[in-house]
Structure 1
């Protein structure tokens, strides 16, 4: 590992700068704070603070503006980070390349994906993959927000096809998707059954708020007619698991992926409505950077996806 280097420019000599201090600085900015970065790296916040202090002292300029509640890179920190992130990515890729010399791929795969994709597609895939490749660690992060996977340190992400950036390689992941509009028998007995999407405005619909703050729309399609509405309701939640619990508790009508609802529809705990209006959606797509060589572990996982039949 590169331990240090010196720069002598315009008559000023820079003290030793450690590569691990640069990695710590990038991790703190990426995580949004010392505490989150400390949890990610399995060390104390004070250890990271000392590392950044030593880095700033070595180069003679402040890199982070700190308050009791937040941190943000200074102008110098932003300039360093812009050059640092691709360099660190190249170093990680160089180390990952060594995995190809092993009989079995090793290392860690980090994937960012919405909760439903993790629950119903990635988890089963990852469990099988880890049995085949015991030296590979897998980290799956459920996140509905659209992020820069390279900047955030992920090997891949999962989104719908239309949400994937053009400079990414996208691989279909899983079968086509379908939303179900569901409610409990008790709720429908008390409030009636909607026969068209417009009837939902007279019902208590369980709403979903995304991490960015927007409320989810409900989309419908029948005989070529497409419709998008934002129904109203007393309860607003942030995950499919919560919406499912609310529907089972007769709190209203829920709009969730069919996979979540299926066992409860089969048991009779939930009833599907507006079935003929439910459109089929494209499958999830796993995407990864086209400009960066994937590690041996990631290449093995991609092949595992290709070998899977949906």
Structure 2
């Protein structure tokens, strides 16, 4: 078998694993059209169709499934052999692809700093596009998000948290609208509502029992938490978000915490990855970094 055949089989395995040209292309760092061209040439050379594909779906043919079943164990063995070499080297290397929520990207600065300082041969690619919710289909190694967004078949470990929820407003807004003393008072205020990028529904404003959820209204709704916070700083209404997100504005006095005694905690952020896959060395290194106690420098 020559080098080009090995390359073609690698392309085949990537497409078969993701059943998506886009996901396989992201994984391999090439374009989807390049993978399609390689696969077409491979099928012509072999004289057999390996995939049935339409504009919406990619599926293995019987011949493709048979080839996958024979190839996967062999390539898994190769992967394990290379992993063993990495362990002998004593330090991981390569590219780690992650999907992270905007909040995670902002909050986990200390984790990224420790990780990249500890593993200088590792490169990290962070995707924040909320439409990339299926990390397997997109060719990503793992994701970081609130627990409620993590699919049941994923392995999940908490990265940071729990966090305290905060309701806050700018002094300029409170000077005009007054200060709410209890959660029920929020119904009479202009509240900046944040909408989920997953189901497009506004996040509820929940408080500790017996208050529970409070119905709020407002003229601004957004799916970008940063816009929500900035408009609150500008005095356009009250915002309900994680305390970590607005801490700098609380410290400078640009925002003021409200109804603090009724604000609940939420579970925090989780690193998640497919449970059926071998965990790449670079991902294992990130997990170790997350679990490592943070030292003062």
Q: Could you tell me the TM-score, scaled by structure 1's length?
A: 0.75
Q: 2:159 touches 2:269 (CA, 8 Å); kept in 1?
A: yes
Deviation at 1:42, TM superposition (A): 4.9
Q: C-alpha separation between the residues in 2 aligned to 1:267 and 1:2?
A: 60
Match in the other structure for 1:51: 38
- Backbone CA RMSD of aligned residues: 3.7
Match in the other structure for 2:127: 141
Question: Does residue 72 of structure 1 match 2:56?
Answer: yes
Match in the other structure for 2:20: 29
Q: C-alpha separation between the residues in 2 aligned to 1:216 and 1:73?
A: 33
Cα pair distance change 1:74/1:297, threshold 3 Å: closer
Deviation at 1:254, TM superposition (A): 0.9
Match in the other structure for 1:104: 91
Higher mean alpha-carbon deviation, 130-139 vs 191-200, is at: 191-200
Q: C-alpha separation between the residues in 2 aligned to 1:259 and 1:91?
A: 44
Task: Report the number of matched residues.
Answer: 287
Match in the other structure for 2:158: 172
**1:196-221 superposed Cα distances (whole Å, 9 cap, x missing partner):** 22222222211112223222111111
Q: C-alpha separation between the residues in 1 aligned to 2:64 and 2:201?
A: 33
Higher mean alpha-carbon deviation, 173-182 vs 109-118, is at: 109-118
Question: Does residue 299 of structure 1 match 2:289?
Answer: no
Deviation at 1:258, TM superposition (A): 0.8
Gaps of at least 5 residues in structure 2 are none
Gaps of at least 5 residues in structure 1 are 6-16, 66-70
**Matched residue SS, 2:186:** helix
Q: C-alpha separation between the residues in 1 aligned to 2:96 and 2:189?
A: 44
**1:172-191 superposed Cα distances (whole Å, 9 cap, x missing partner):** 32232011111111112222
Question: Does residue 19 of structure 1 match 2:9?
Answer: yes
Deviation at 1:303, TM superposition (A): 1.9
Match of 1:63 among 45, 52, 60: 52
Q: C-alpha separation between the residues in 2 aligned to 1:216 and 1:138?
A: 30
Match in the other structure for 1:11: none
Match of 2:265 among 280, 301, 307: 280
**Matched residue SS, 1:193:** coil
Q: C-alpha separation between the residues in 2 aligned to 1:92 and 1:197?
A: 59
Higher mean alpha-carbon deviation, 183-192 vs 170-179, is at: 170-179
Q: C-alpha separation between the residues in 2 aligned to 1:180 and 1:103?
A: 43
Q: C-alpha separation between the residues in 1 aligned to 2:259 and 2:119?
A: 44
Cα pair distance change 1:208/1:116, threshold 3 Å: same
Q: Could you tell me the TM-score, scaled by structure 2's length?
A: 0.78
**1:108-163 superposed Cα distances (whole Å, 9 cap, x missing partner):** 22232322122112x32122111111111122333557944444433333344465
Q: C-alpha separation between the residues in 2 aligned to 1:19 and 1:176?
A: 44
Q: 1:96 touches 1:107 (CA, 8 Å); kept in 2?
A: no
Deviation at 1:96, TM superposition (A): 4.1
**Matched residue SS, 1:134:** coil
Q: 1:145 touches 1:210 (CA, 8 Å); kept in 2?
A: no
Q: 2:50 touches 2:64 (CA, 8 Å); kept in 1?
A: no
Deviation at 1:92, TM superposition (A): 8.4
Match in the other structure for 2:251: 266
Deviation at 1:246, TM superposition (A): 0.9
